[in-house]
Amino acid sequence: MQVTIDKNSGFCWGVVRTVHIAEEMLAKYPGSPIYVLGHIIHNPKEIERLAQAGLQTIAVNDFERIAGQDAKVIIRAHGEPPETYVKAFKNGIEIIDATCPVVTKLQERVRKFYDQGYQIIVFGKYDHAEVLGIRGVCHDSAIVVLTEDEALKAVDFNRKTVLFSQTTMDRPTFYAIRDALQERIKELIVDSAENIATEFHAKDTICGQVSGRETQLAKFAQENDVIIFVAGRKSSNGKVLHDVCKAVNPRTHFIEDIDELQDEWFDGAQTVGISGATSTPQWHMDEVKRVIEERYSHAVA
Identify the DSSP state of 255. E
Query: 247: helix, coil or strand?
Result: helix
Closest CA to 41 of 62, 10, 19, 63: 19
The Cα 233–Cα 218 span in angstroms is: 20
Residue 187 annotated among the catalytic residues of the structure:
no
Closest CA to 6 of 178, 183, 214: 214
Q: Per the residue annotation, which of 46, 80, 130, 214 is the catalytic one?
A: 130
Closest CA to 261 of 209, 296, 233: 296
Residues labelled catalytic: 130
